[in-house]
A and B are shown apart, each in its own frame.
Chain A
Amino acid sequence: QGLLRRSVSHSFLSFASITGACRAIQKLTRVRVVDNSALGNTPYHRPPKCIHVYNKTGVGKVGDTILLAIKGEKKKALIVGHKMPGPTMTPRFDSNNVVLIEDNGNPIGTRIKTPIPYILRQREGEFSKVLAIARNFV
C-alpha cells in the first residue's frame, strides 16, 4: 500500500523514492535497476533490495558492488548513482541506481540509458564491460 501511494509509472514498481531522506546504499535499501535486463525490468510485488555491501563499511557508494534480492533470487549489482551528495563536482542522482552484474563482472543487460558518472571510468579495468554498454555520461 505504501508503494501505491505515489503512482508514478504504469507498473506498480514505483521508481520515485518513497522514504524521505535517503543516504548512500546499505542493507535493506530499495534500489532502482537501470539496465534493460529482463530480471531488472519485469514487475514483481516487492522492489529489489540490497542485502549485502561488499565493503569494509556497510555503506555503498558509486562503484561499489552489492548483493541484491530480486524476484526471490540473489544477484550482484554495481552502484552507479545514489541520492546522497558526494564530493563536489560529482553528480547526485534523484534515485539509487544500480546495474545488474554477474560474479565475474559481466553486466546482464545490454544497454544503460540513464546517465552514469564519469568517476566510474577511473576503474576501467573492472567495469570496462559496464562502461561499454552505457550510453550517456554525466
Chain B
Amino acid sequence: INSDGKPAKFQPPPKPVIIDKQKQREERRFLSPEFIPPRGRTDPLKFYIERKDMIQRRKVFNIPEFYVGSVLAVTTADPYANEKASRFVGICIQRGGKGLGATFVLRNVIEDQGVEICYELYNPRIQAIEVLKLEKRLDDNLMYLRDALPEYSTFDMNMKPVSRLDHEEIPVNKLQVRMKPKPWSKRWERPKYNIKGIKFELPEKKMKEAQKWSQPWLEFDMLREYDTSKIEEKIWKEVNEELKK
C-alpha cells in the first residue's frame, strides 16, 4: 500500500537477462600472431611441421594470450642466478618473428636504468609467463617508449596481477605518452610510423614538415595487401583440434 493510501499497482519482477558466457567466449577468438605464416613462396609443409612443434610445446607449457602493451612477468631458468631462476617484469613493446623463433621484448625501468629483454616464446629455458595486466594500446609497436619519459615504462617488480573477467573485451588503453625533448632515436612524428599513442608537443610547423614524408599511395597499393582471414580460420581450427587432444 502506497503512502497515499491507494493500493500500489502490481509491478511484475524484471525479466532475468541470461548472458551465455560460453557463446561470448567463443565469439572472441585469439590466434597468436606467430602462427600466421608470412607471405612468400615457401612450402606450406614447413609451416605445418613448425606448427606441430609449437602445439607440442604449448601442450606442455601454457603460453597465455597477451598483446603489445600488456604487462608480463617471465621466470627463466638461469644457471648463474641464485635459486637458478630469474624473474623479470615489464611491458611488452614488440612481438616479432614467426613460428618457433617468435620473440617478444619486455621493457622496464629499474633504478633509473631502462632495461629491455628480448625473450623467445618457445625457448625451453622459460619456466613461466604470467600476464599481470592484459590490455592493448593504440599502436602495435611501442618502441617510442625508449624516448618517452621514464614514468611510462616503470612497473613494480612485485606488481600484483590485475584481475579481469573472462568474457570481457580486451581494454584498449588510449594513453598518450609524453616524450623527452628531441632528439629521439627515430623521428616518431613522421607518418611512416603512424603512431597514435604520443602526445606530440611539437610546433605546428614541425608537424606539417613531417607530413612531407607521407606516402598516401601506399594504402591503395594492392600488391601490399595480405588478407589473412581465411588462413587464420584454417590455422585456428587446426590448432584448436590439436590442443584439445
Give the interface of A toward B (CB within 8 A): 5-6, 8, 16, 20-21, 34, 81, 85, 88-95, 97, 113-115, 118-122, 136-138
Give the one of B76, B115, B120, B123 with max A CB within 10 A.
Answer: B115
Give the interface of B toward A (CB within 8 A): 76, 78, 80-81, 86, 88, 103, 110-120, 123, 125, 146, 180-181, 183, 185
Give the one of B80, B103, B125 with max A CB within 10 A.
Answer: B80
A121 touches B183 (CB 8 A): no
Q: Given A85-B118, A89-B120, A97-B113, does the pair A21, B81 have CB atoms closer than 8 Å?
A: no
Which of these, B76, B88, B181, B185, contacts A20 with CB under 8 Å?
B185
B117 touches A91 (CB 8 A): yes
Which of these, B113, B114, B119, B183, contacts A88 with CB under 8 Å?
B119
Name the B residues within 8 Å of A97 (CB-CB).
113
Q: Given A88-B118, A89-B118, A92-B118, does the pair A114, B103 have CB atoms closer than 8 Å?
A: no
Name the A residues within 8 Å of B116 (CB-CB).
91-94
* A92→B146 CA distance, assembly (Å): 12
21 contacts between A and B (CB under 8 A): A6-B180, A21-B185, A88-B119, A88-B120, A89-B119, A91-B115, A91-B117, A92-B116, A92-B118, A93-B116, A97-B113, A114-B111, A114-B112, A115-B111, A115-B113, A118-B78, A118-B80, A118-B86, A136-B111, A138-B110, A138-B117
A interface: dominant SS: loop
A93 touches B119 (CB 8 A): no
A92 touches B117 (CB 8 A): yes
Which of these, A6, A85, A137, contacts B86 with CB under 8 Å?
A137
* A93→B135 CA distance, assembly (Å): 25
Name the A residues within 8 Å of B185 (CB-CB).
20-21
CB distance from A134 to the nearest CB of B (A): 11
